[in-house]
Structure formats: structure tokens, C-alpha cells
Amino acid sequence: MEFTAAMIAGLLNGTIDGDPGTKLNTIARIEEGHAGALSFLSNPKYEPYIYTTGSSAVLVNNDFIPSREVSATLIRVADPYQALARLLTIYDEQSRPVKKGIHPTAVIEESAVIGKEVYIGAHAYVSDKAVIGDGCSIYPNVYIGDNVRTGRNCTFHPGVKVYRDCLIGNDCIIHAGAVIGSDGFGFAPVSDANYMKIPQIGNVILEDSVEIGSNTCIDRATMGSTVIRRGVKLDNLIQVGHNVEIGENTVIAAQTGLAGSTRIGKNCMFGGQVGFSGHLSIADGCKIGAQAGILSTVSEENSVLLGSPAMDSKQFLKSFIYFRKLPDMNRKIDELAKSVESLKNR
């Protein structure tokens, strides 16, 4: 597909500096640009590349002022990153083949209810009394358990497993290998250091527009529900324990682990490998840096935390200055001790 800079600007409500007729047929990173490619600049540290890029056009902020000549056509928009996301969505919808129909090797139990315009791929299995909403895509080797209910336009990528009784909202995307509704980690200690399994009789609820990354596991509740609220985005390889609740529009990066009964507020952002102890509450709008350890409740909204155990980011950065100086401080203390010992011996 080929577009002109003017067509792209029209789609994005942008304005053009340069040739409106610049022809574009692909998208590339600004540092790897080439003729016919559209790139974007949103992070200031990449600005040097805009003066050397081979891309034919670059999306930039409305207020971007180049410090020297730029050969590429500039398409000015309110937010280049969001504009790129819109373009990629349009490109993906037009270039990806639309899967239709039910493969002959798929197994659908008689009591299951399948909506309109649903795709079900090879070797997928839909269990008793499951309900699949209109427009859903179920790719090969997906397992949909008993009594599972999905909303409209959901996508289940290959190998997804959704256990019994779980509820999936509209417009959800679950990536390959994710497991929704496996047993929570519940065991009661008994004599002789043995453990008795506690049945996990709850379920998992995903509200609308939730996206779950590959190989992420969301445990069913012991009782009640593990709840992922509307608009939540979970990265790959995340563990969500039983009875956890994640608030609306929270985003969590890979390898984060949330122990059971943790409550996460809305609009939070967590980096990779953050660890949460169980039965905690995290206030709305909190931002937590990668590899932080959260051992206690965070009550103040919009807190920014770093470190393990986590602390206020400003306090952490001040402490880190001293941490870096510890080897030098230790050396000085050793020298001081030797001096004191020498004075004692005189």
C-alpha cells in the first residue's frame, strides 16, 4: 500500500512541513529509516537521528523546532506516539488476513453457544455450556472451559487456556500460552510438614478491553473472583494470584508477580519484575519502578516508588548516592581505625 504525506496528515489531523506529495509505503524506526518509510520522533534523545534519517517523512510534535535543516517531510501532530499507534492499527487491520469459519478439527460441545461471525481454528475445544460472543476469534489449540462466557470481538491466540466459569468482557485480547483461571496457590499446612490443597472455587473476571500478554497466568479466586478491570494491559510472563483485583487502565510490565488478595488501584504503571506481597492495597495512579519490592500498603495516590523494599523515588535516589560511596567510606573508616590504633600504641 502506498500513501502520500498529505493522506497521512489527513488521517491524523496533522499539518505538513515539506512536500505533501511525499510517497510512503512502510513504517521504520527513525534510526533505520530509508526511502519510502515513515518514522516518528517522540523521545527527545532521538532528535539527532532526524537530521540523518533516510526516511521520507517523520511524525513530530506540533511544537517541534529543528536546530538545523531536515531533509525529510515533517508531519506535525499533537502526539507522534499516539499517531503512530493509530496508523499501525489501520495498517494491521488492512494487511492481516481475516480468519473465518470453524475448522473441521475443532471440537464444540453441543451445549455450547457460538455467536455470529466467530472464527474457531484447528484443534480448538469449546466446553459444555460455554458462550462465545459475536465476532470472536479462537485460534488453534485454544481451550475454553465449562461455563466460560466471552463478550464480543475477543481474540484468543494459539494455546490460550481459559478454565471453567471464567467471564471475559468485550474486545479482550489474550495472547499465546496465557492461562486464565488456573488454581490459586492455596495449601493448608498439616502434620509432618505436609500440605492439604484448598479447593479454589472462585473464578476470574476480565472486564472490557483487557489485554493479557503471552504466558501470563491469572489464578482463579479461592472464593469470589479475581478481577481485572476495564482497560488493564498486562505484559508477558506475569503472575496474578488468587483474589487479586487490578484497577481500571493499569499497565504492568513483564515478570511482575502479585501475591494473593492484593488490591491495585486504577491508572497505575508498574515496571518489570515488581514483586507484591499479599493482602496489600496500592492507591490510584501509583508508578513503581522495575524490580521494586512492595512489602506494605501504599495509601498515597500518585506515589512514585523505587527499590526493594520500595521507598519514595526521591528518597531512593538520595540513598543511592550514599550507597555508591560505601566502598570509599569503608576505606576511609579502615584508615581512621588504623590511625586510632597507631595513636593508642604510642
CB 241 within 8 A of CB 258: yes
CA distance linking residue 76 with residue 65, whole number of Å: 11
CB 42 within 8 A of CB 21: no
3-state helix, strand, coil in the chain (%, to 5): 20, 30, 50
Cβ neighbour number for residue 1 with a 10 Å cutoff = 9
Residue 192 carries which DSSP code?
G
279 is catalytic: no
Give the full edge-to-edge strand order of the sheet including 15-17: 15-17, 73-77, 57-61, 37-40, 26-27
Give the three-class secondary structure for 140.
Answer: coil
CB 139 within 8 A of CB 126: no
Total residues found in the chain within this entry: 346
Say which of 34, 123, 175, 242 is annotated catalytic.
242
**CA-based nearest residue to 99, from 140, 61, 65, 44:** 140
Q: How far is CA 234 from CA 91, 147, 242, in A?
A: 23, 24, 16
Residue 31 carries which DSSP code?
G
CA distance linking residue 300 with residue 308, whole number of Å: 18
Residues 6+ apart with CB under 8 A from 333: none
The residues with which 217 forms a beta bridge, in sequence order, are: 179, 239
Q: For the residues of 314-332, what is the DSSP string, one character each?
A: HHHHHHHHHHHHHHHHHHH
Q: So which residues are the catalytic ones?
A: 242
